[in-house]
Each structure stands twice: as structure tokens, then as C-alpha cells.
Amino acid sequence: MVDQSRRSATTAPLLEQSKSPTFTSKTHLLTAIVVLTNVVGNVCLSHGMQEVGRTISASPADYVRALLNPWVLAGSCTLALWMISDLALLSRADLTFVLPVTASAYVFIAIAGHFVLGDRISWERWLGIVVITLAVVLAEETPSLTSKAEYREHSQ
């Protein structure tokens, strides 16, 4: 009981700090990095795999050969950066904020796929892209951090 009241006393200032303009701007910057690395990494990976060709094999050598393609390698490295930045973002914002907001990457990936890779997008997909965009805008307007539980670990 005493431990819980001590936690409540220490988490309140941390939640207040999360509402500061500096915290918010860093969260938005990290969100942009997550989205950008996701888009660039997946576009590079797709371009590289189109160069490599279909790879369905039991031999690991075929996958190593695919990984040695410069585009696949660039995409893999960029997606590793995406994972690191996503972990950092999840450490400072709620999952219920991070996943909807970073879903904007799906929109940008589709647009990049269309204009950079020449993918065809049906009207149904464009409609889905519009729905995702509206949902991202709605989710972005909510606070990035709402739970006290996430700060329990930081305050100990």
C-alpha cells in the first residue's frame, strides 16, 4: 500500500512532463523517423527483391545471395534502424498512440510503391488509404501518453 502511494506521487510529475512541448516535439520527431525508416526500408527491400527475383528455396545460399543485393541490404539496414527507433518511440508513448500514428507509413509505402516502383493501386486500395489517413489524423490528435503504468519502471 505504501509502495503504491509512493509510485503515485512519483508518476504524477512524470505524466505532467510528458505534456511539455519539448517532450511532445521529441515524440513527434521520433514518430517521423519511425515512419520514414519504415517507408524507405520497405521500398528498398521491395526494389531489391524485384531485382533478385522469386526466392522460394530450401537452400540458405539463395537467401544469402538475396541479402547481398545492395537494395536488399540497404532496406534491411534501414528496417533495423526502424526497429530501434520504434522501440525508442514505444518507450515514451502508449502503444495505442504509436501503432495508429505510425500506420501512416502504410499510406506512404503505397504512394511510394505507385510512384517509385510502378505498382498499380486499385480504387479500393486508394479508398483504404484515405480511411487510414483519416484514422491517423484522428489518433495524432490524442495525447501520446495516458497510462501511469508505463512510468512505474522509470520511477523505480
pTM: predicted TM-score of the whole model, two decimal places: 0.74
Residue whose C-alpha cell reads 516535439 in the numeric block: 25
The answer to whether residue 35 scores a pLDDT higher than 90 is: yes
The answer to whether residue 14 scores a pLDDT higher than 80 is: no
User: What does the alpha-carbon distance between residue 105 and residue 39 come to, in Å, rounded to a whole number?
Assistant: 6
CA torsion sign, 117 to 121 to 125 to 126?
Answer: positive
How many CB atoms neighbour CB 58 within 10 A?
Answer: 5
Angle in degrees, CA 21, 95, 42, rounded to 5:
95
> What is the pLDDT averaged over residues 54-61?
78
Which string of b and e fits 16-40 if b means at least 16 CB within 10 Å? eebeeeebeeebeebbebbbbbbbb
Q: Confidence band (pLDDT; 50, 70, 90) for 97?
A: confident
Q: Confidence band (pLDDT; 50, 70, 90) for 148?
A: low
